[in-house]
Structure 1
Amino acid sequence: MNNTNIKIIAGFAAGAIAGALTGLLLAPESGDRTRKKIGKESDKLRESLSKSIAESFDAAKTKYSSLLDEYVAEGKKQLDKAKENVKLN
């Protein structure tokens, strides 16, 4: 399938999704429940995403801290070796 066909299909799919969502959101009284359901699901997704981002951030912070400690310890070790070499010479 060439690039033009992919773009046409993607545009059609995006338009269909946008149309369906617009229809749901603008539906009369019977769509009220649907809009509430979409709102609740959006809130759940937002909370889940927020929690996932926070967990990823905490994991990265822990890993960074651990690596920093390792590098500092190795740097101190190398500094001590250099001091010993200076004393011996």
Structure 2
Amino acid sequence: MNSGMKILTGFSLGLLSGVVAGLLYAPEKGDKTRKQLKKNMDKSYKESLKKIDELKSTVNKEMENVTSKGKETIDHLKSSVNYKN
């Protein structure tokens, strides 16, 4: 499991734990608690989308780097053995 997935898993578990704890120890009435819970869930959802976008960007950059390095290696190997198409 890569570090991005570990972060996302940890974030999700933390979010779930927070929701459960919030419901169990809610000092407000049900209506207020539900409104606050919805507000927090919306905020967490937006933050999750942001983190996913950051993770996608990181993965795309790494894939570009790997592709570039692979092409460079192939070109180097071709030139070192005088390969001609």
TM-score range, shorter chain: 0.5 to 0.7
User: Which residue number in structure 2 is paired with residue 30 of structure 1?
Assistant: none
Question: In 1, distance between residues paired with 2:75 and 2:34?
Answer: 61
- 1:83 pairs with 2:78: yes
Structure-2 separation of matches of 1:64 and 1:42: 32
Count of aligned pairs: 61
Runs of 4+ aligned residues of structure 1 deviating over 3 Å after TM superposition are: none
- Give me the TM-score of the superposition, normalised by structure 1: 0.61
Alignment of 1:1-89 (within 5 A): 18=24, 21=26, 34-87=29-82
Q: Which has the larger radius of gyration?
A: 1
Equivalent-residue separation in structure 2 for 1:78 and 1:43 (angstroms) = 52
Q: Deviations over 1:32-57 (max 9, x none)?
A: xx221101100011101111111111
SS of structure 2 residue aligned to 1:87: coil
Indicate the RMSD between aligned Cα atoms, in angstroms.
2.2
Instruction: Provide the residue aligned with 1:7 in structure 2.
Output: none
Comparing both structures, which one devotes a greater share of its residues to helix?
1
> What is the CA–CA distance in structure 1 between the aligned matches of 2:76 and 2:47, rounded to whole Å?
43
Higher relative contact order (CA closer than 8 Å, sequence separation 6+): 2
